[in-house]
Amino acid sequence: MLAIRPFRRLWGVTYLCSVGDWLSLLALTGLVRQMTESYQWQNFSLSLVVLTQLLPGILFAPLGGVLADRFDRRKIMVVCDLLRGGLFISIALVGTAWWLFIANFLVGCCAMLWIPAKDSAVPNLLRRPDQVETANQLGLVMTYGISVISGAGLYSIISGIPGYLGLQNSDLEFRIATIAVMVNGALYVTSAIIVATRIPELSGRITAVRQTRENGEAPGFFAMLREGMKYAGRTPLVRGLVIGMIGAFAAAGAVIGTAPSYAESLLGGASTFGLLFVAVFAGLAVGMATAPRMAQRLPYDRLFGVTILVAGLSLLVVALAPHLWVALVAVACVGASAGMAFLTGLTIVGSQVEDAMRGRTVALLQSLLKIVLFAASAAAPLLVSLVQKRTITIFNHPMQVDGTRPVLFGAGVIAALLGLIAYRQMDNRRSEPLLSDLLAALRGRARRTTGGVLIAVEGDTRLDTSVQARRLAEALRETGREVVLASDPDLDEQRLRNLLSTADLAGVRAHALVAAAVRADVVEREVRPALDNGALVVMERYVDSPLAHFSAAGSVEPREVEGLVDWATGRLRPDVTVLLDRTPSQVRASGGTLDTVEHHWRVQKLLTDMASADPERYVVVDADGTEDEVAERVRVAVVPLLARRAGVPVKPVAETS
């Protein structure tokens, strides 16, 4: 993923802004304490800082979604970062508490405009839809892992300057707190500069948006807002996603609101609360780490609802836990399920929600997160206060029953019910029952349970891929395995054109449709049956080469072709892709025109970019040289690789001198 340059740079921007977010939480809290002399106001400093950053999410998240879908997302991010940087610097310059809270509120407003623009732009920077989950995983690790440590460490270094100097002066401490706020502003300004100058790809979709506005088809703000709400209501996938998120955030709010009292009900104190805190975040980390592996075994539309349901059921165990260790295990399960559901939900938005609606969908989820979390966190303590404390004995072990138990139990029931509803909304009604699908996932079985291996041979020219696919199949047959060389797609394409009487296809889209139809036919007729029988399947120009050629032509968006290919092949991906890396200048262009040679350069660059973005699946082979030399390089690279793969009993052949 980090080999994709625009995404890598945006990941760095995420680091800067996330460090700024965490540093602002600490720096502003410390600055408030320096600005106010009242002990009561100092105790409320953290709560007031959090509240003034949380409130904009309730008010301005829908606006951010509409702007992200209507205007250039890169410009939105630049403007918001400059405003955030300027506001933080103004806090240090003005030096009053009232302006601190006003500016912090405005910073939160800018964040609610920045987040939908950034999150909805990420999928457009990737090579394939199946990379969205890894991108989200990296983003969450950066936001809630690396950045937290960096922000806290940076604040500790800055705030510790008086101690390093051996000085204890209140005026010096105030100046140090001001410096921390200034550093925070500089981080956002740096982010704005990087986005403006180094990531132009964030504006890649603006051409289509501008054409829509010039044609007079762009609706107004409120019309787009209503359109986004209607889209969420009429689309089962998004509707289920919203319902499930409401259940998850309601349960999270109940846990946050009752956590200290719940620790006391376990007859513990601050240390018990700390252990529960560690357990839930450890579970979150485990859930986010294992979500991609589970997604290989269970479809996203099923995985999301199931994880919400499991989180609700685990919360029921938390409510009934008679002992700390039972509570810790159950809380860790809640965290793991929540982490898996959160990452799966983000992946669904990035990979399955259309780009024109993605910003508003992200904003809707951000609004729900803030509103439901805020309401549940506020309501839970009020409900707890209505129930009197009692001590009961279970298996000779005393357990304190107070309002936290019924509140957590109710939250678990709500989360489980909404998770079940979300599952029913999002499931695509596959013929395989959920229970058998879930058991297969827990046993570690991938969704494709065949023993075969699919090897794709990709390259710029048909001559190279055709010859090397045939030579590779011959070499693999010498190892003793059954090898199927899939039909030549070009011959099938010509046959299909003749059947459809469209031999004089004029447009790239027509060619793309024919190519997709041919590959769908080959996959269903030859590839899948051979894989089911455990054979090695070698196919030339399977997906990547046609995709690169159509994308290089420039008249079709790559994501459109990717979606067409995914549908045609049933998202069947090769286990190994052999990329023939030939110098385009050595390709014989038809007619010898410069345009054709430049097209081959673009195609080869796209293919190498695909390989660098997914190095575990690609084997790049130098294709400059004679046919025999290239065939030997392919054989030496592929045969030992298959021999090392678990479950593929291929013995490498002896190398020729």
Rounded to an integer, the average pLDDT of 567-582 is: 83
Residue 582, amino acid: R
The 10s digit of each residue's pLDDT in 632-656 is 999 888 888 776 654 444 444 443 3
CA dihedral 137, 138, 139, 144 (to 10 degrees): 90
Instruction: Tell me the pairing of strands 453-459 and 483-485.
Output: unpaired
Residue 299 reports pLDDT greater than 80: no
Secondary structure class of 479 (helix, strand, coil): coil
Please state, rounded to an integer, the average pLDDT across all residues of the chain: 78
Measured between alpha carbons, how far is residue 435 from residues 159, 305, 306, 439 in Å? 54, 13, 11, 6
| Greater model confidence, 250 or 412 | 412
Instruction: Tell me the pairing of strands 390-394 and 397-401.
Output: antiparallel
Residue 489 reports pLDDT greater than 80: no
- Amino acid 256: pLDDT: 75
Residue 528 reports pLDDT greater than 60: yes
Percent of the chain with pLDDT over 90: 13
Residue 271 reports pLDDT greater than 70: yes
- Amino acid 500: pLDDT: 47
For residue 336, the tally of other CB atoms under 10 A from its CB is 25
Rounded to an integer, the average pLDDT of 429-453 is: 55
The 10s digit of each residue's pLDDT in 43-60 is 555 566 767 776 776 667
- Amino acid 499: pLDDT: 45
Sign of CA dihedral 152, 158, 161, 164: positive
- Amino acid 591: pLDDT: 41
Domains of the chain with bracketed CATH: 1-218 (1.20.1250.20), 222-447 (1.20.1250.20), 453-644 (3.40.50.300)
The 10s digit of each residue's pLDDT in 117-157 is 998 888 888 877 668 878 888 888 888 778 888 988 888 88
For residue 8, the tally of other CB atoms under 10 A from its CB is 14
Return the H-helix or E-strand segment holding 619.
Answer: strand 618-622
Residue 265 reports pLDDT greater than 70: yes
The 10s digit of each residue's pLDDT in 472-484 is 988 888 877 888 8
- Amino acid 78: pLDDT: 96
pTM for the complete prediction?
Answer: 0.64
Q: 123 near 6, Cβ under 8 Å?
A: no
